[in-house]
Amino acid sequence: MNNMTAAGIVGLGYYVPPKIMTNYDWENIVDTSDEWITSKTGIKERRIAEKDICTSDLAVMASIEAMREAKVRPEDIDLIILATSSPDVPLSSTASITQHKLGCKNAGAFDINAVCSGWVHALEIGSKFVIDSNYDNVLVIGSEVYSRIVNWEDRATCVLFGDGAGAAILQKIENGRGIIGSWLKSDGSGAEVIQIPAGGIKKPISSSDSLEGEQYFHMDGRAVWNFAIEAFPQAVKELLKQINMEIKDIDMIIPHQANFNIIKAGMENLGLPMDKVFMNLDKYGNTAAASVPIALAESVKEGIIKPGDLVITVGFGGGLAWGANAIEW
């Protein structure tokens, strides 16, 4: 990276609940099998939050780790941006609840909802605040408790998701961990491909709760597959054009941890070997907006990403929304 000031990641953290739910556990609940789940998705287990744990609680745990690494105190945080599609409550914002729990008394806070590409969007938003405004420390979080919004009787979706959170502290920097570009896209014509039909003002949840499952997460699996195998490589290619770099310059891709077969198809489209992608979905399943920051933090912790690497983070999912960030580590 040159010596121009950029927004950089100076602290990372992630948290997953201690309770592990395996594919074999799901065999006792719905008509499925470890063999089917593994072959179709690559997922072997996922983490499930206890009933008294909220999305904000996971966000707090991930943020504490990120702040510790960045050596900043709660009162040093100027802004919190929280990406989630499983908020604690419809309002107030989960970011504000998290802000209070963390003790970030000097911070502004707001949520964004771009579903599984939420953190990729939040990172771009956060980088703009760092560079263009008087914000010294911006906390960007992805946190989800999907175990509470999926229908545990819908075998097509319930086995796919897990709970967790990831967080990053952004500061102005001159060298290392710099966000050098982002590319974001949306196609609202596919909004019904991934959705929770009820619970908003279009179809409020009634007191009788007679919604026949419409209060839960719904997904058209085939449509998601067709979208994701194109959106993933498109986001990478368009981002590289924007920053005047090439496929061969990429050292590591951190994709949304949706499905092994989607990621494999995307990497084949890009002409990249599988050793240039980091995956942990076998352990955590699909954690929606939390999946990219969890994977990024874990890959750095394991020493897979090294100083000087060009890292591409990619998100794709409900909205439909997709995008990518380029980070020079």
Of 175, 204, 237, which one is at a domain's C-terminal end?
A: 175
Residue 163 and residue 21 in one domain: yes
Residue 259 and residue 223 in one domain: yes
Residue 41 and residue 141 in one domain: yes
Of 144, 160, 175, which one is at a domain's C-terminal end?
A: 175
Residue 267 and residue 193 in one domain: yes
Decide if 53 is inside a domain.
Answer: yes
Residue 155 and residue 13 in one domain: yes
Q: Are strands 79-83 and 138-145 parallel, antiparallel or unpaired?
A: parallel
d(CA 10, CA 121): 18
Q: Residue 122: which of 170, 180, 158 has the closest Cα?
A: 170
Decide if 225 is inside a domain.
Answer: yes
Are the CB atoms for 11 and 70 separated by under 8 Å? yes
Residue 236 and residue 287 in one domain: yes
Residue 201 and residue 285 in one domain: yes
Number of independent structural domains in the chain: 2
Decide if 189 is inside a domain.
Answer: yes
Decide if 184 is inside a domain.
Answer: yes
d(CA 195, CA 85): 10
Residue 69 and residue 210 in one domain: no
23, 104, 218, 256: the active-site residue: 256
Burial of 221 (0-12, 13-18, 19+ CB in 10 A): middle
| Residue 149 amino acid letter | I
Decide if 1 is inside a domain.
Answer: no
Q: Is 286 a catalytic residue?
A: yes
Residue 195 and residue 272 in one domain: yes
For each of the chain's 329 residues, which pLDDT tens digit applies?
A: 445 688 999 999 999 999 999 999 999 999 999 999 999 999 999 999 999 999 999 999 999 999 999 999 999 999 999 999 999 999 999 999 999 999 999 999 999 999 999 999 999 999 999 998 889 999 999 999 999 999 999 999 999 999 999 999 999 997 656 999 999 999 999 999 999 888 888 888 764 545 678 888 888 888 898 999 999 999 999 999 999 999 999 999 999 999 999 999 999 999 999 999 999 999 999 999 999 999 999 999 999 999 999 999 999 999 999 999 999 99
Q: Is 158 a catalytic residue?
A: no
Residue 149 and residue 259 in one domain: no
Give the burial string for 200-211 (b: 16+ CB within 10 Å, else e): eeeeeeeeeeee
Of 108, 142, 175, which one is at a domain's C-terminal end?
A: 175
- Supply the pTM of this predicted model: 0.95
- In terms of residue numbers, what domain contains 263? 180-328
104, 116, 137, 280: the active-site residue: 116
CATH number of domain containing 39: 3.40.47.10
